[in-house]
Structure formats: structure tokens, C-alpha cells
């Protein structure tokens, strides 16, 4: 179980960062268009 967690947590964190970046760039685009 511990091994699984140590594998999943970094991957999850990466995806969250990726999502955050996507949202940020979308927000920027929206601001640019208005």
C-alpha cells in the first residue's frame, strides 16, 4: 500500500499542476479577448 501511494502521489501532483497551468492559460486567453 505504501509503495502504491508513493507512486500515485507524485503523478497526482503533476496532473494538478498541469491542470492549473491549463486553467491559467485559458483565463489569460479570455482576458485577452475581452
Express each pLDDT in 1-34 by its tens digit. Answer: 788 888 888 888 899 999 999 999 999 999 887 7
What does the pLDDT read at residue 26? Answer: 95
Cell numbers standing for residue 28: 489569460
Q: Alpha-carbon Rg of the chain, whole angstroms?
A: 15
Element (H, E) at 4: helix 2-33
CA distance 33 to 9: 36
Q: List, in order, residues 6 or more apart from 11 with CB less than 8 Å away.
A: none
Cα three-residue angle 12-5-1, rounded to 5 degrees = 155
pTM: 0.56
Amino acid at each position: 500500500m505504501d509503495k502504491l501511494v508513493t507512486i500515485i502521489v507524485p503523478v497526482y501532483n503533476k496532473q494538478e499542476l498541469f491542470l492549473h497551468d491549463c486553467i491559467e492559460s485559458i483565463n489569460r486567453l479570455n482576458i485577452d479577448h475581452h
